[in-house]
Amino acid sequence: MERELTNILDEARRSGGSIVALTGAGISAESGIPTFRGTEGYWVIGSKNYMPQEMATQEMFRRAPEEVWRWYLYRFGVCKYAQPNAGHRALVSLDRALGDRFQLVTQNIDGLHLRAGATPNRTHCIHGDAAFVRCADACSHAASQGELGEQHGKLPLPDMGVRGADTPFTEADRSRLSCPRCGAWLRPHVLWFDEYYDEENYRMQTALRAASQASLLLVVGTSGATTLPMQIGELAFRRGIGMIDVNPEENPFSDLCQASAKGFFVRGSACERLPEIVQALTAFEVSGPVV
């Protein structure tokens, strides 16, 4: 392991401070889930009729809910059958070793961190979670929550079976995706391009608070294309805390690391590099002489 990286990790471990991990689609790439902006990415392929940036919007959902659901159900199917990888498991080891001194902020909606064993109340899905849906008319926020088993207005995604990119949408699909309270469409619990981060659905303040208190920010597998993650990176840089970016390619986070006195850009994949990084962060020092 590179000397500079070892020094940053040793300082973080000895400080006993908190650590925030910030992940993007790259940590799930080795689980077989395409990233968004890579050559095979969802935003590159999209659907045959629309560009993805049009598809992942409230405006498109209002105009063509079945088309949007068809695209999401295909993507969610890919997530459902993917398995956590060594990168996800390394962050779970860090979570378990540090307890409340660890917070995970993820842009991924694939659920792989939680399936790997991440602690739910320390895992902040700032772009939502494919396993959940909400009433598109937000009726549950008006009525008393929970009577239909909602958690914060969210319901589990109904079982829609295995879907291809062009699997037709049936009346049965439509009724499965109707709000049990008001009959409106249920929508994916994901943040759309024409919507905003908030605390209630996307834990915005929680993520920023964690970053404002951390002594190390560990960024893994994100291209820095979205605002809240970049705010977290810039906050860490301004605070002068330890910053590590794990990514095969340079990106705005690696630029921040290279400009920081306590930053290091780890050019590599999550599965290759995260296990040794976590090992260094959780190695218990042998205090006193080894007898």
Task: Please give the residue whose beta carbon sits closest to ligand APR in the complex.
Answer: 26
Burial of 44 (0-12, 13-18, 19+ CB in 10 A): middle
Q: By CB under 6 A, is residue 89 in contact with ligand APR?
A: no
Q: By CB under 6 A, is residue 157 in contact with ligand APR?
A: no
Q: For the sheet containing 154-156, what is the strand order? A: 154-156, 128-135, 186-190
Q: By CB under 6 A, is residue 41 in contact with ligand APR?
A: yes
Catalytic residue among 127, 141, 152, 189: 127
CB of 204 to ligand APR, least distance (A): 14
CB of 251 to ligand APR, least distance (A): 5
Mark 219-258 with x for binding to ligand APR (rule: CB under 6 A) and - for no binding: -xxxx-xx-------------------xxxx-x-------
Which CB, 71 or 140, lies closer to ligand APR? 71
CB of 91 to ligand APR, least distance (A): 12
Mark 163-202 with x for binding to ligand APR (rule: CB under 6 A) and - for no binding: ----------------------------------------
CB of 206 to ligand APR, least distance (A): 17
Which CB, 60 or 179, lies closer to ligand APR? 60
Task: Work out the widest C-alpha separation in the chain, in whole angstroms.
Answer: 72
Mark 262-291 with x for binding to ligand APR (rule: CB under 6 A) and - for no binding: -------xx---------------------
Q: By CB under 6 A, is residue 86 in contact with ligand APR?
A: no
> Is 152 one of the annotated active-site residues of the chain?
no
Which CB, 173 or 237, lies closer to ligand APR? 237
Interface with ligand APR (CB under 6 A): 24-27, 29-30, 35-38, 41, 43, 107, 127, 220-223, 225-226, 246-249, 251, 269-270
**Residues taking part in catalysis:** 127
